[in-house]
Structure 1
Amino acid sequence: MNGYKGRLTFAKGTYVEFVVAPNQEVDFGDILVVEGHNGERFYIRTYDFSVKSRWSGINNVGYLMNKLDDQGQVVNQEELDFYLGGNHTVKIAKAEQLCYSDAAGSLWNPKTCPDFFSEIRALTADDTALLSELKGDIEFGFLKSGRGVLDLPVGIYGTKAIPEHIGIFGTTGSGKSNLVKVLASSILGSAQYGLLIFDVHDEYYRDLAQHPMASQNLKVFSVKPNSEHENKLNIAYADVDPEDVTACATFTEPQLDALYKLSSVWQEQWLPYMLRYEIPDIADELAGATGQKFQSRTLSKIKSICWNLQQELGLAEESCVAEILDSLRQGKVALIQLKNVSPVGEQALSTLLSKKLLQRCADNKRSAEDKSVMIVIEEAHRFLGKKEYTSNNVFARLVSEARKFNLGLCVVDQQPRLLADKVLSQLNTLFILGLASKSDRTKLETMCRKDILQQRNEIKNLDCGEMIVATNYMRFAAPVRVHKLEDYLVTRFDAKLSGSQLVALAPSVIA
């Protein structure tokens, strides 16, 4: 029997036990098949083991212990082999039923349980009902089964997953950046979705530039371009409004009041006027227009933040925001390089572009050909933490409103427990990589749409590049080995170049 693993000995509800066949290896997280009658197939996943023997009773164990010396060593190995000889010991695997397929090949949630002593076998290419559900148009890895990796691609469908938001969680070194690069590469190859990435640490440009489709589908914008292949990131004064400024620092109530009054009085010219005129003149102008006198310290704080933004982003009269938004809605990847920008400028720019994109997607006049767009936010707790979420910033609005406009967030973080519960509850697709903290794992177990309680041991022992994928339209949380970006580019897109050749090519492939 091909892939034979054992025989079922007990089943109750979705719980299954089976005896592992002699000389067969079954591991934590193995996905196996129980052969039913009339072509039915039950798909199960192992999560625990026990060993039973006719010597397992306490009296029998005591008898065997008498065969050892005072140091616990065997006195007569031949005699001990006589008592332990024969097939008296069995390994019992405990598993949960994931789903089952009927004779017609339709996949269903668990509705019944398999019969006693049914055959247990490994997954094969014939299990098309299960495997077809795991495929998607945004590929990121191969299906894992225990310690093995099957040659079965796993992906998500962007039309379903992107508008319903994605969460990527893992500790440092677990493979988050590689996963984002693989997702971006898959999107680059299809041109079916837009992707906005804020490259804070300059780690995406060099790798994504290796993609064979980078010249057509990758747009790079930088505050200080280093080559002719990078576009100048031009932000106009008129693009900046008070919400972008408040993302940079904490303001008191009087300061917030003054900030919004400035915008109301001077409209699109409020920022250049704020930078151009002296504080006493600004205070007098506001007092004349609103009848409200603001202190110099209040206005000085606002002017200081505005000056920092002007220095960081090089604000001018021209703007490339419309170009960025157009490229995203055309199904391109827009990479915003922020390597020379401080956290103040990064937060302001992230807020500004995300807000403009939300407004564009919510516009009733948008084209029917516009693609779904996803925004990647790293260290997301800075924007969507418990305190930040209550401020109703643009990212909080994106989480609750954006799905209606084919716009989604990809939230990347090392510590999901720091995010607001309302944010986690809105993430319908989770990529769970290695998490060292038990509180982080517990938080995701609570918020995940799929039951992953039985995968605790598996999640706790994930290696770098391994993850659990849980999404709404899959019937169970799937273990996946994420592609290495270099291997994925070669095998998926046939980029038959060495690593050194790809790096050398990088500056020349970006339009």
Structure 2
Amino acid sequence: MIGRCIGETSLVEVSFISKEMPKVGEYVTLEYDGKIILGMIELLVRGSVSLNGEIYNPDTVAKIRQIEGDDYYIKGSIRILGDINDNLKIPRTPAPPGTEIKVASDEVLNKIFKVENSLKLGHLINQENVSVEVDVNKMVSRHLAILAMTGAGKSNAVSVIIDGLLEKNGCMLIFDMHSEYVDAEFTNGSVNVIEPMINPQNMEFSEIKKLANIPSNASIQERHFRDAFKEANKRIEQGTQESTDFIKLIQIILDEKRQEAEGSNDKKTAKDIMDVYNKMDDLVSKYDRLLNIYVGDILGEIKPGVANVLDLGQVDENTAEVLVAHILRRALKSRKDFVRNNNEKALSYPVFFVVEEAHILAPKNRNPNSKYWITRIAREGRKFGLGLCLVSQSPKSVDSETLSQANNMIILRLVEPQDQRHVQTASESLSEDLVHQLPSLNIGEALLLGLMTKIPTLVKIDEFKGRQRGGDLDIISEWKSQKESKEADKKRQLLEFESQFG
């Protein structure tokens, strides 16, 4: 026994007093009314009746300490998690004051954390011999958010999850904003790097318009571009155009319309069309590596059983937004076609999308196409086997509606109050007391919430056993290497000089 309930108790929370110091995040049991109730210690304070807040002289404190010694009390609050023998249902009666509180046994906890379709993340922070597993089906279908400040262990957590999914022949596509996973090595599967290239004929009007930098308020330019876009599609469908380069075909049509306007002496229209033509010219020169008429559907490059990595480290944010929107749009359309129509040519297996830098691709204060399609997948993907993993070191900058669709969260250390409030707003299960624990988490420690785990959990995530680029550079080593390289060059030049001139 570590303590007893005191004061008024409720169905969801009890206060307790103790003489022994337990740990925040530790699981406890309360037995009453023939039930065994599981709880989690969420808050602890240590105090003294004599050394209260009304004493203002340090000498007085010292004298009282001499007399009383270590005569202090420990108070805390316990969050009620449910009846161990009734599928963790919340009891209908509160615990009587004075009820004994005991540390939950390893046997009880191992039973709770044992789930079907499991993926092992790590072990309990306070009980290392209790493994923590999550339900893969619920994690993927109900979406996941991994949130942390920089350096808290976010990339390690992502790698552990990817490796665990590979063991189950999972299919994931990582939108890799910083080329961290391009040369990664996983113990349960290989990496399939996908180059950021799109066949422009597979793109929607809004996607090419974004690349052409035609703003939404430029209605005249947008109209001319839309007309040329529709005409290009029409000619390709009818087979009346020799050119197979969709962008070039749009330019040909724009040039035809410009000449037509000049022929009728409509100089303003000719100028407006020429402005669009020039923007298409800029598009071709700027995105020549992105747009490739010889590649097929980018979805065809995704393979199950390997870590598919879309290398976005070599493109700018604008291009990354277009690529992500394009892939998610086509994936949702293809999965709908497979599930509803059993189309054998459609995407025939579920995909888990790992969205690195979610605050860039689904930002709070902007509305790029990537944000629209990420939100669509968050809302509709569950029915068609498309899951999301939103990863960010700046939760406050992630769109709140998108974040709220993630029914599972792995929250590592978060210090900034704005980040904490934003995450708490997005998650129904994140209590105020648990929020207060986030700044005290060590590297690799995390709070697990959501449908993938039966109860909120403080976990020490396993260390990833493979290899993955990321983390901070060893600056001193880099400088030292540079110095050694220069010194070696000088020695080589000196030896060459001496060999030539004796």
Q: TM-score, normalised by structure 2?
A: 0.77
1:94 corresponds in structure 2 to 77
2:357 aligned partner = 379
Gap runs ≥5 in structure 2? 237-243, 469-502
- The aligned amino acid for 1:199 is D
Cα distance, 1:57–1:358 mapped onto 2, change above 3 Å: closer
Q: Structure 1 residue 40: deviation in Å?
A: 1.6
On the 8 A contact 1:8/1:119 being kept in 2, the answer is yes
Matched, 1:437 2:416: yes
Name the % identity.
18
CA offset at residue 412 of structure 1?
1.7
Does the 8 Å contact 2:80/2:90 carry over to 1?
no
Paired residue secondary structure (2:413): coil
Q: CA RMSD, aligned part only?
A: 3.6
Q: 1:350 aligns with which of 324, 330, 352?
A: 324
Is contact 1:10–1:116 with CA below 8 Å preserved after alignment?
Answer: yes
Is the contact between residue 186 and residue 466 of structure 2 (CA under 8 Å) also seen in structure 1? no
- 1:470 corresponds to: 449
Give the aligned partner of residue 335 of structure 2.
361
SS in 2 for 1:40: strand
In the other structure, the counterpart of 1:213 is 189
Q: CA deviation at 1:188?
A: 0.8
Task: Provide the C-alpha distance between the structure 1 equivalents of 2:205 and 2:353, rounded to a whole number of angstroms.
Answer: 22
Counterpart in the other structure of 1:18: 16
Tell me which residue corresponds to 1:109: 90
2:415–2:438 CA contact under 8 A, matched in 1: no
Q: 1:139 aligns with which of 120, 128, 152?
A: 120
Structure 2 Cα separation of the partners of residues 58 and 399 of structure 1: 50
Q: Classify the secondary structure of the residue corresponding to 1:140.
A: strand
Unpaired runs of 5+ residues, structure 1, are 224-233, 490-511
Question: Secondary structure at the residue paired with 1:8?
Answer: strand
Shift of 1:485: 0.7
Q: 2:358·2:390 contact (CA, 8 Å) conserved in 1?
A: yes
Partner of 1:260: 226
- For 2:39, the aligned partner's letter is Y
Secondary structure at the residue paired with 2:129? Answer: strand
Pick the aligned partner of 2:179 from 183, 199, 202.
Answer: 202
* 1:159 paired to 2:137: yes
Which residue identity does 1:417 align to in structure 2? K
Contact 1:430-1:471 at 8 Å conserved across structures: yes
Deviations 1:157-178 (A, max 9, x none): 2322323222222221122222
The one-character-per-residue Cα deviations of 1:336-367 (angstroms, maximum 9, x if unpaired) are: 22343333433332222222211111113256
- Shift in alpha-carbon separation, 1:157–1:324, aligned structure 2, 3 A: farther
Distance 1:389 1:109, change over 3 A: farther
2:491 is matched with: none
Following TM superposition, by how much is the alpha carbon of 1:315 offset from its aligned partner in structure 2, in angstroms? 0.8
Going from structure 1 to structure 2, the CA distance change for 1:243 and 1:287 (only over 3 Å counts) comes to farther
State the one-letter code of the partner of 2:6: T
Secondary structure at the aligned position of 1:408 is classed as strand
Deviation at 1:253, TM superposition (A): 3.2
Whole-angstrom CA distance in 1 between matches of 2:53 and 2:433: 30
Query: For the residues of structure 2 that align with 1:141 and 1:354, how far apart are their CA atoms?
Result: 31
Aligned to 1:283: 258
Residue 453 of structure 1 aligns with which residue? 432
Aligned to 2:26: 30
Q: Distance in 1 between matches of 2:364 and 2:74?
A: 47
Q: Is the Cα contact below 8 Å between 1:136 and 1:154 reproduced in 2?
A: no
Matched, 1:308 2:286: yes
The structure-2 alpha-carbon separation of the partners of 1:244 and 1:212, relative to structure 1 and needing over 3 Å to count, comes to same
Contact map agreement 2:352 2:387 (CA 8 A) in 1: yes
Which letter does structure 1 place at the counterpart of 2:325?
Answer: T
TM-score (structure 1 length as normaliser): 0.75
Aligned mates of 1:371, 1:157 — CA distance in 2: 19
